[in-house]
Every structure is written in structure tokens, then in C-alpha cells.
């Protein structure tokens, strides 16, 4: 294990976070809020820690997949810790674990909050919460790759550890250029949304916050009722952008280079859109009697887009909706967005391939000696990919059920426990019952919150990088070196 | 030793992820180019994209749609190095039709190798490479100068870079380079010295020691004088025993027979023996297992002047070399195709070692670097010396620049760099401070700065 290199990467991430923490400082200066000082202190501290780690510039820059995974997992833990620190010491969120929960929820783009009233928070804290979404959405290590030249081909191992999806491809031969293109698309779409929201009469502060939260498919709002009190136009804009940020970014790359046919023939994107349209239709049917046609359609589209892209904004209390609508929304949490987007969940591509394996298995019963390769995006899927997807589902299931069991110690009903875990592990945000859209996660015990923090980070990093930290082999060499 | 630059690299598509393909990926990615590698076997692509920052595509490189996917329209260069010559040529043909890129093909069958000129012109290929033939040529050069560990030709073979080891107690040990210069009746220049694993680009006051390995440049004629003056044998070999009847063995035998060396080839397969006997009527072809001690002794390995194991298996080649060094005085050349354990191989003291994959890569890198630089200059030859720690590059000077027509002593040159020799209309000059570089010359420089693309980079 190349520990020096891992420390170097974590250090570089902390330095970037230190710079980003100046964002809320600027907001505090503008709105003359005292909490800005705390952000400034943490920024300096973060920069110092990062600088110390970067000082150990490793001679040997080679690292393999295991180092990539460990560096990613540790970076995210460090990121969440330092991100929560200013909220805690400034007293905005009085309890330490609560601050960590809020920060982890931000960076993993979950959007589950512990705050009773977000309107009571300082503007700088609100901005920081939205910024964590934006950074966490595309991934801070991808950002790192875009700006820091790391030698060798091994930097693909970082990209693989942080980017969502069963197989991570590149758009162009170099990781660095790929990362840059992704960020350019990301920034472009975010700015476009800000402009459209301002055009609809939203204030600059609100539109910047909402755009960053939408871009990262996060879900932290600036009002207690999330998006409900904004005009229908603004709600529709946010709906469209939520869905757009759940699309595989490769599609935008193709559109950017005028390869429209390639972009629209992406099987994953097509399935994603189909699932959304079908879900909106059925949810609409079930809630039409409550809201009427135009409002019903808007609410249905907004909630479906919000849940499948794992954003978690709300315009209506869907916990009070009929059972069909509630169930559809919970199922959408698990499907999630496309691979290579900023969203969470199991990913449409994984679900698509999994469904195809079932179909293949049925065919194998009919014709036991038949040989058939599963195809996805027009290409045969390697056995290795299918196997890793199956293992992913199993691991997800184990983690999910284990978490539900641990959360149940808290004593709440099954619906709360199930949806709380589902909403965090899939990085959605709101669940049902006691974690529904109108309530928050503040009432859970400290232990439960720790479990949920773990679920959020595990879900964002696609399980394995975080689980790797628990493999004894990773730490063996540290112990051995000490002796 | 990073040679990255901020400039955008060239867009290069490499088809075939075999031995040569992966070496090219390694070296070209290191020089900062945008590389897409194509192979039909997914496993190979996976292995390469795991280790290098390149894009991989699985599929048939000769297909139009795959080339489009690989971005042939915007590519600068396509290199086809698959197993099959025909496929390589087809890849290049398709690529030339679709894109505007230059194309390089590997063609190594003897049937085509005679028609390389024709193929290159008709298909408008930038380069046709034949690693087997290059390997054979290098081996033949070494056999012509058996004391040398390595012989690298430049200036169209007019001059050579010779690598020799100085034995303890040799006359040259203990002399400074300035003294050597005085003692020599002809001009030659010591370009690089390796001592205890360190490489030096020496100045005149550098004192040689026994156990050093040095590389010097001289015109072909003067090399023998250099060797004789300092008591190195310079007699060429009279006979050669080759194990394995591969393509490289065929090319080597052909070269050697051409220069009057007796050649004996031991080959296991009966059919291949038949083919070889038709192709090489003057050689002695022996059908048998070249790894059998009895057979080697019977065929006179103990008395042979030189011995070249050219089997397809590196381990066998190394064992045969070690065996030959033990029981005979023969000059031995070892061919190592795939093995990466260079430090181990070096410590075995095998003597002359040839790595065919690097031989090919050097030719292509020379081409790529010259093309990459927009100014009109070209790299004629490029060699990596001492495990790629030193580069020897021959530039053709095509137009006047900051370095031309100025006496060399007035040029502010970088450290660790030597202008080893200048070729002016076929006349080899080992330059002193008074000489200057003129338009039309080719100039060989030896340097520890890697990645030079144009001659002007020698300036500070």
C-alpha cells in the first residue's frame, strides 16, 4: 500500500475544501453574519491540515485500485468531517453528530436534514449546505483529477472509485481531459438553471442555492416547505433540471459534439425517461382526485423527478398520498438515476442489466443448451460486469437489511425505518412516515444517525470503496510498519 | 524523467495490444499523447487501460464503424501492430480512406519485406516497421564488432554508437577523456559512461575506470582504429550458431551470409526446416531441439565464434546464453521479447541483449516526435541508451535557426548534453568548439534530457 500517496490525495482534497469554505465566508461578509468567522477559521484549519499532508509528497506516485478506493473513502470521510465542523462550532447545529449528519448528507447529495427549521439558519450556512451538494454531486476527486496532474495511468483508479455506475468509461483518452469536460458540462448546466430561475422571479440567493442543490441532485432547500411555496413555473424548471442531472453525462458530451444520434440512442437514458413517464402517469392517476389535473400533473412530475434523480426536493406532502403513489415513489428511490450522472440509487443501467439476466435465465429454462449474451447499449455485456452487478445487488441488500435492523433499535415503526434507510443509502433525502417530507431526521438517536451517515457515504461511493476500509489487509501494513 | 508538456498531445490510435502495442502505449503515453488502443480481446484492453491513462476499445480495428468510434476523423496517426500483416495493411488502408491521419503498419513476413518500398508508396504509409528485421540488423551489427555490447547505426550507417565494457587492467582504464583524444590518431567521442548504475555524460577531465561501460561515437572506419588502439579485439565473427528458426533468425542469417559469415540454424519443426533450407540455401539447417545439451555440443557450440538463441521463449534464450558463456568463448546475443525484469536481466551479465519491442518503439517515437513539432525538422534516428536514461537523437537540419552557423563553443547549451557527431554530405565530423551546424547536416546529440523534439532544444 502506498500510504504516502493516499495521504497526498486526502491532503489535496482538504486544500480544495479549504478554498471552497471561503464561499460561505463571502456570503457572511455580504449579509454581515458573525458565523463567517467560524467558516474562516475552519477554512484555515482545513488548509493547514491539507498542507501538512501534501508536504509528505510521495516519491512513488504509483497507486493501484486499492489505493484509489482507500484514498476516495478517506477523502470523503475527511470531507464530511471538516464540512460539518463550522456548522457545529458556530452553534448553528448544536450537536456534533447532527452537524456531521448534515455535512455527510450534503456531500453525498442526500439532502436529509436534521434541522427543524432551515429558515432559522444563517445565509452562509445555507449556502455552504448547497455548495456541499454541488461539490459532492460530480465528485471532489474528479475535480482534483481535472486540475492536479497526477502522473501515470493510475489516476483512472480514483475516477473508478468515485464515479457512479457499473463500468466507468472515459470520454477522451486522458482522465484529466475527461474530468474537465464533465465539470464544464456540469458548470454550464448549473448556470443555465440559475438564469432560468432568476427569469422566473426567484431571488439570486435562492436560485444559486437551488441550482447547486439540483445539480448535485442533493435536495437541501432554503425554505422550510422546500419548493412548495414557489410559482408553478419555477417548480417546472426545477423538475426538468432534476431529471436532466440524473441523465448520464455522456449523453451531454455527445450532444455537445453534435452526435445527436448517439446521444438519443443511449439505452440507459431511454429507459430512464420511460420509467419517469410511466411513473408520472400512474402517480398522476392516483392523486388526480386530490389536486385536479394541472396541479396534480405538476406535483406528480415534480415528486417523481425529485425521487428518481435522488434529489429530494418536495412540493407536496407525498406521505399523505394514496398507497400506490407512495409505493411507486419508494420503488423509484431504489432504481435511482443513470450511471455517470450526479444522482444516486442502484442506477438504471444496473437495473436494466439485472432484468435482462432474469430474462436470460428464463430462456435458459426453455432451451437449456442455448447460449445467449446479454446486450446493453448495443454491445454484449462481459460476464465480469454481470457478475459484479449481481454482487452489487447482494451487497446492497445485506447493507440495507443490516441497517434497517440497526435502525429498528430506535423503536420506530417499520415504514419509518425502511424508508429512512432507503432514503439515505440511495442518497434521496425524504422518506415516509416519521421521515416524510414535512418532518426531518433530527429525532433519531445518535447511534441511528451514525448508521445513516455510514449508509449515505457507502451509497454515494457505490459501497465497495467504503467497505474496503474494513478489510484487515488494508491496515495490516500500517500495523506492521509501526512495529 | 517526465517529459510531459502543456501542449495538447497528438491523437494516436494503436491497433493491436500485443507486445509491441503495449510498449508503444507505455512510451507514447509517457510522452503525453492522447492514445486510443484497439484490440479484439477485451482482457488485453482491460489490462492496458488499468495501467495507463489511455482509452480502450474492443473490436476489429479494420472495421469502418470501429475506427469512427475511435475518432479516426480527428486522429493524427494510426499505428497497426496486430499479429497479422494483412490486417495491419487493411487497417491502414481503411484509415487513410476515412481520416486524414498518417499510418504506420507492422509488416514482418519475409514475402512482403522485400516489397516494403512498393507497399509504402502505394498505400501512402508513413512508415513500415519490421521488428524482426530490425532485431536481425542490430544483431548483425553486433556480430560484426563482437567486443561491443551494442552497436547503433546512424547517419545511414556511416557512423555508429558503440557500447563497450572496460575490463579491469585495460589500457584505457585510468585515462581521462582528454588523454584518450590525444592518443587516438583518429577522432572519436565518448558520449556516455555508466559506473555503478549511474550514468554520466562526461567532460574532458572525466577519468575512466575498469568496470565502466562506455558509449562512443565514431565513423565506421575509425571504430576499428579506436578498438585496436586500446587493445579491444575488432575481428568480426566467422561463424554463427542460431537456435530457433523464427523470422528474426531468417533475417539474421540472410544478413550474415551476405557478409560472408557461416550460419548454422537449429530448428525443431521439420516443416520450418524445409522452408528455411529453400529460403537460405547457403545456411546449414539442422532439424533438432536446440535446448538439448548433446545436440549443441555435437554442432560445436564450444568452438563456435558466436551463438544467438532466437527461440520464442525468453527464459530459454537466457538459459542458453548462460550455458554458452559457461562452456565456450563465443560471442552471445540474447533476445528478450516480453520480460520486464530488467534489473534482474542486467544483473545476470548476459552481455549483449536485444529487446525487439524497444527497437520498434524507438523508430515510431522518433517519427512521432518529429511530426509533433511544427517546425520543419525531422528526427532521423533515436536510440534509448542505458535503460532509457540517455537518449541519442539524430536530427536533420532543414532550415536556419538559432543553432545554425554559430561555432559550437558560442552556443549556450544545456548541461548533460553532447553534440556527438555531424554528418555533412556523407562526411562524418566529430565536432570541436570551432565547428558549426549548417543547414543540410544531420546532427547526433547524446543527452540525459529526455523528450527532445527539435534541435533548438539543446539551448539553455
Could you report the predicted ipTM of this complex, rounded to two decimals?
0.73
Q: Are A141 and A72 spatial neighbours (Cβ–Cβ below 8 Å)? A: yes
CATH of the domain at B386: 3.30.70.1450
Please write the tens of the pLDDT for every residue from A423-481. Answer: 999 999 899 989 988 888 989 999 999 999 999 999 998 888 899 888 888 888 777 76
Contact at CB, A156 and B49, closer than 8 angstroms: yes
Question: B341 and B256, same structural domain?
Answer: yes
Are residues B343 and B246 both part of a single domain? yes
A244 in contact with B at a CB cutoff of 8 Å? no
Same domain, B281 and B295: yes
| pLDDT beneath 70: ranges in chain A | 148-155, 164-169, 481-483
In Å, how far are A74, A422, A452, A454, B217 from A399, measured between CA atoms?
A: 19, 11, 11, 10, 68
- Residues B158, B112 share a domain: no
Q: What pLDDT is attached to residue A105?
A: 94
Q: Spell out which residues of chain B touch residue A157, defining contact as CB-CB under 8 Å.
A: 50
Largest CA distance in chain A: 74
Task: List the single range of A149-158, A380-389, B51-60, B157-166 with lowest mean pLDDT.
Answer: A149-158
Q: Mean pLDDT, to the nearest integer, of B245-253?
A: 92
In a domain, B1, yes or no: no
Candidate from A65, A175, A382 with C-beta closest to B53: A175
Together in a domain, B112 and B219: no
Task: Show which of B112, B129, B146 is a domain's final residue.
Answer: B129
B54 closest CB neighbour out of A154, A173, A176? A173
Q: What is the pLDDT of residue A393?
A: 94
Regarding whether B123 and B27 lie in a shared domain, the answer is yes
pLDDT at B390: 87
- How much is the pLDDT for A78? 93
Asked if residue B260 belongs to a domain, the reply is yes
Q: How far is CA B223 from the centre of its chain?
A: 19
**Interface with chain B: mutation pick from A153, A179, A373, highest number of B CBs within 10 Å:** A153
pLDDT surpassing 90 at residue B460: no
Q: Does B438 map to a domain? A: yes
pLDDT at A24: 93
Cβ of A174 and B34 within 8 Å? Answer: yes
CATH of residue B83's domain is 3.40.50.720
Locate the chain A residue with the closest alpha carbon to B5: A149
- B-chain CB neighbours of A174 within 8 Å are 9, 34, 53-54
> Can you read off the three cell numbers belonging to residue B100?
486524414
The pLDDT value recorded for residue B88 is: 92
Asked whether the beta carbons of residue A173 and residue B52 sit closer than 8 angstroms, the reply is no
Percent of chain B with pLDDT over 90: 20
B377: pLDDT confidence band, cut at 50, 70 and 90?
A: low
- Contact between chains at B50 and A65 (C-beta distance less than 8 A): yes
Residue A369 to chain B, least CA–CA distance (Å): 25
- B363 assigned to some structural domain: no
Q: Write down which residue in B229, B251, B286 finishes a domain.
A: B229
B328, B302 contact by CB (below 8 A):
yes
What is the tally of structural domains in chain B? 4
CB-closest option in B9, B42, B52 to A153: B52
Whether residues B49 and A174 touch (CB distance < 8 A) is answered with no
Say yes or no for a CB contact (<8 Å) between B53 and A65.
Answer: no
Residues B140 and B123 in one domain: no
| 8 Å CB contact of A172 and B34 | yes
Q: Which residue has the higher pLDDT, B459 or A333?
A: A333
In a domain, B325, yes or no: yes
**Which residues in chain A are closer than 8 Å to B50, comparing Cβ atoms?**
65, 153, 156-157
Do the Cβ atoms of A170 and B55 come within 8 Å?
yes
Instruction: Judge if B102 and B211 occupy the same domain.
Output: no
| Together in a domain, B118 and B21 | yes
- The 10 Å CB-count burial string (b at 16+, else e) for B70-98 is bbbeebbbbbbbbeebebbbbbbbbbbee
- Interface subset of A 168-187, CB within 8 angstroms of B: 170, 172-177
Q: Which residues contact B95 (CB under 8 A, 6 or more apart)?
A: B13, B67, B72, B75, B78, B80, B101, B103
Residue B85 lies in a domain: yes
Task: Let me know: does B444 contact B154? Beta carbons within 8 Å.
Answer: yes
Last-in-domain residue among B77, B104, B129 = B129
> Given CB atoms, is A290 within the 8 Å cutoff of chain B?
no
Q: What is the pLDDT of residue B153?
A: 85
A155 touches chain B (CB under 8 A): yes
Q: How far, in whole angstroms, is CA A44 from its chain's centroid?
A: 27
Q: Given pLDDT bands bounded at 50, 70 and 90, which one contains residue B6?
A: very low
How does the average pLDDT of chain B come out, rounded? 86
pLDDT bucket at B1, cuts 50 / 70 / 90 = very low
If asked whether residues B125 and B21 sit together in one domain, one would say yes
| Residue B361 falls inside a structural domain | no
Does any domain span residue B197? Answer: yes
Q: Does any CB of chain B come closer than 8 Å to the CB of residue A381?
A: no
Between the CA of residue B268 and those of B281, B284, B285, B291, what are the distances in Å? 18, 14, 10, 10
Residue linked to cell 457499473 = A166
Examine the domain organization and report whether B291 and B393 are in the same domain: no
pLDDT at B3 over 60: no
Q: Is residue B221 very low, low, confident or very high in pLDDT (cuts 50, 70, 90)?
A: confident
Chain B residues contacting A via beta carbons under 8 Å: 2, 4, 9, 11, 29, 34-36, 42, 49-55
Question: B242: closest CA among B301, B335, B183, B310?
Answer: B310
Cα–Cα distance list, A308 to A25, A220, A227, A312, B115 (Å): 33, 16, 17, 9, 63
Q: Which domain holds residue B255?
A: 239-354
Inter-residue contact A468 to A423 (CB < 8 Å): no
Indicate if B54 and B115 belong to the same structural domain.
yes
Kindly state the average pLDDT of the residues B388-411: 85
Q: Over 90: is that where the pLDDT of B205 sits?
A: no
Q: Convert the pLDDT of each residue in A280-329 to its tens digit.
A: 999 999 999 999 999 999 999 999 999 999 999 999 999 999 999 999 99
Provide the pLDDT for residue A166: 64
Amino acid at each position: 500500500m502506498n500510504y504516502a500517496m493516499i495521504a497526498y490525495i486526502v491532503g489535496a482534497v482538504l486544500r480544495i475544501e479549504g478554498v471552497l469554505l471561503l464561499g460561505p465566508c463571502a456570503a457572511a461578509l455580504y449579509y454581515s453574519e458573525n458565523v463567517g468567522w467560524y467558516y474562516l477559521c475552519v477554512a484555515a484549519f482545513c488548509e493547514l491540515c491539507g498542507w501538512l499532508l501534501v508536504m509528505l509528497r510521495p516519491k512513488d506516485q504509483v497507486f493501484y485500485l486499492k489505493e484509489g478506493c482507500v484514498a476516495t473513502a478517506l477523502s470523503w470521510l475527511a470531507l464530511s468531517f471538516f464540512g460539518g465542523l463550522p456548522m457545529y462550532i458556530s452553534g448553528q447545529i448544536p450537536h456534533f453528530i447532527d452537524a456531521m449528519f448534515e455535512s455527510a448528507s450534503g456531500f453525498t447529495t442526500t439532502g436529509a436534514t436534521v434541522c427543524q427549521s432551515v429558515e432559522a439558519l444563517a445565509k452562509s450556512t445555507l449556502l455552504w449546505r448547497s455548495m456541499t451538494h454541488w461539490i459532492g454531486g460530480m465528485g471532489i476527486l474528479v475535480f482534483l483529477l481535472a486540475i492536479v496532474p497526477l502522473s501515470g495511468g493510475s489516476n483512472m483508479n480514483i475516477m473508478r472509485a468515485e464515479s457512479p455506475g457499473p463500468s466507468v468509461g472515459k470520454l477522451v483518452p486522458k482522465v484529466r481531459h475527461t474530468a474537465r469536460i464533465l465539470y464544464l458540462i456540469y458548470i454550464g448546466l448549473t448556470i443555465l438553471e440559475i438564469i432560468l430561475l432568476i427569469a422566473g422571479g426567484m431571488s439570486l440567493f435562492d436560485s444559486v442555492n437551488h441550482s447547486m442543490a439540483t445539480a448535485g441532485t442533493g435536495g437541501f432547500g432554503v425554505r422550510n416547505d422546500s419548493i412548495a411555496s414557489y410559482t408553478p413555473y419555477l417548480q417546472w424548471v426545477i423538475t426538468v433540471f432534476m431529471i436532466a442531472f440524473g441523465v448520464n453525462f455522456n449523453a451531454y458530451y455527445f450532444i455537445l459534439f453534435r452526435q445527436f444520434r448517439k446521444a438519443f440512442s443511449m439505452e440507459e437514458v431511454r429507459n430512464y425517461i420511460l420509467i419517469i413517464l410511466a411513473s408520472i402517469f400512474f402517480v398522476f392517476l392516483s392523486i388526480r382526485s386530490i389536486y385536479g389535473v394541472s396541479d396534480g400533473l405538476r406535483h406528480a412530475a415534480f415528486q417523481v423527478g425529485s425521487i428518481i434523480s435522488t434529489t429530494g426536493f418536495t412540493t407536496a406532502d407525498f406521505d399523505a398520498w394514496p398507497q400506490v403513489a407512495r409505493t411507486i415513489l419508494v420503488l423509484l428511490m431504489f432504481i435511482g438515476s443513470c450511471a455517470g450522472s450526479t444522482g444516486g440509487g442502484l442506477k438504471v443501467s444496473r437495473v436494466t442489466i439485472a432484468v435482462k439476466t432474469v430474462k436470460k435465465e428464463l430462456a435458459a429454462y426453455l432451451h437449456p443448451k442455448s447460449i445467449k449474451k446479454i446486450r446493453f447499449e448495443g454491445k454484449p455485456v462481459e460476464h465480469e460486469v454481470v457478475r459484479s452487478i449481481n454482487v452489487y445487488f447482494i451487497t446492497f441488500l445485506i447493507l440495507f437489511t443490516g441497517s434497517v435492523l440497526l435502525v429498528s433499535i430506535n423503536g420506530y415503526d417499520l415504514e419509518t425505518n425502511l424508508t429512512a434507510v432507503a432514503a439515505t443509502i440511495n442518497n434521496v433525502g425524504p422518506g415516509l412516515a416519521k421521515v416524510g417530507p414535512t418532518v426531518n431526521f433530527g429525532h433519531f438517536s445518535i447511534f441511528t444517525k451514525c448508521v445513516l451517515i455510514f449508509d449515505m457515504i457507502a451509497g454515494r461511493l457505490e459501497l465497495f470503496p467504503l467497505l474496503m476500509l474494513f478489510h484487515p489487509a488494508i491496515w495490516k501494513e500500517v500495523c506492521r510498519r509501526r512495529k | 524523467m517526465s517529459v510531459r508538456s502543456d501542449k495538447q498531445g497528438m491523437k494516436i490510435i494503436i491497433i493491436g495490444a500485443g507486445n509491441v502495442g503495449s510498449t508503444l502505449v507505455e512510451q507514447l503515453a509517457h510522452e503525453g499523447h492522447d492514445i486510443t488502443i484497439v484490440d479484439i480481446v477485451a482482457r488485453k484492453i482491460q489490462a492496458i487501460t488499468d495501467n495507463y491513462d489511455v482509452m480502450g476499445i474492443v473490436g476489429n480495428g479494420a472495421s469502418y464503424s470501429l475506427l469512427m468510434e475511435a475518432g479516426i476523423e480527428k486522429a493524427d496517426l494510426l499505428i497497426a501492430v496486430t499479429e497479422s500483416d494483412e490486417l495491419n495493411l487493411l487497417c491502414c488502408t481503411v484509415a487513410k480512406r476515412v481520416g486524414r491521419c498518417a499510418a504506420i503498419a507492422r509488416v514482418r513476413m519475409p514475402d512482403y519485406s522485400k516489397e516494403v518500398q512498393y507497399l509504402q508508396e502505394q498505400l501512402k504509409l508513413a512508415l513500415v516497421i519490421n521488428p524482426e528485421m530490425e532485431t536481425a540488423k542490430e544483431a548483425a551489427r553486433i556480430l560484426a564488432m563482437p567486443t561491443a555490447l551494442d552497436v547503433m547505426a546512424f547517419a545511414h550507417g556511416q557512423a555508429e554508437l558503440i557500447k563497450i565494457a572496460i575490463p579491469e587492467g585495460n589500457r584505457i582504464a585510468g585515462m581521462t577523456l582528454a588523454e584518450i583524444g590525444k592518443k587516438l590518431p583518429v577522432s572519436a567521442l565518448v558520449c556516455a559512461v555508466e559506473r555503478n548504475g549511474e550514468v554520466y555524460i562526461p567532460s574532458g577531465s572525466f577519468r575512466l575506470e575498469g568496470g565502466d561501460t562506455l558509449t562512443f561515437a565514431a565513423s565506421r572506419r575509425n571504430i576499428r582504429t579506436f578498438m585496436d588502439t586500446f587493445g579491444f579485439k575488432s575481428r568480426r565473427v566467422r561463424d554463427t550458431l542460431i537456435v530457433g528458426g523464427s523470422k528474426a533468425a531468417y533475417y539474421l542469417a540472410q544478413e550474415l551470409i551476405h557478409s560472408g559469415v557461416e550460419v548454422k540454424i537449429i530448428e525443431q519443426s521439420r516443416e520450418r526446416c524445409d522452408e528455411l533450407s529453400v529460403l537460405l540455401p547457403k545456411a546449414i539447417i539442422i532439424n533438432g531441439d536446440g535446448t538439448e545439451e548433446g545436440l549443441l555440443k555435437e554442432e560445436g557450440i564450444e568452438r563456435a565464434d558466436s551463438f544467438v538463441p532466437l527461440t520464442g521463449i525468453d527464459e530459454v534464450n537466457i538459459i542458453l546464453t548462460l550455458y554458452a558463456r559457461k562452456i565456450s568463448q563465443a560471442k552471445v546475443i540474447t533476445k528478450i521479447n516480453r520480460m520486464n525484469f530488467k534489473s534482474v536481466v542486467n544483473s545476470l551479465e548476459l552481455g549483449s541483449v536485444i529487446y525487439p519491442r524497444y527497437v520498434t518503439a524507438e523508430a515510431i517515437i522518433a517519427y512521432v516526435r518529429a511530426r509533433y513539432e511544427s517546425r520543419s525538422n525531422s528526427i532521423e534516428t533515436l536510440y534509448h541508451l542505458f535503460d532509457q536514461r540517455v537518449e541519442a537523437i539524430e536530427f536533420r537540419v532543414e532550415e536556419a535557426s538559432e543553432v545554425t552557423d554559430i561555432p559550437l563553443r558560442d552556443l549556450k547549451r544545456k548541461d548533460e548534453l553532447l553534440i556527438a557527431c555531424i554528418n555533412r554530405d556523407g562526411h562524418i565530423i566529430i565536432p570541436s568548439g570551432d565547428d558549426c551546424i549548417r543547414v543540410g547536416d544531420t546532427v547526433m546529440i547524446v543527452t540525459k534530457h529526455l523528450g527532445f523534439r527539435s534541435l533548438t532544444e539543446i539551448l539553455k
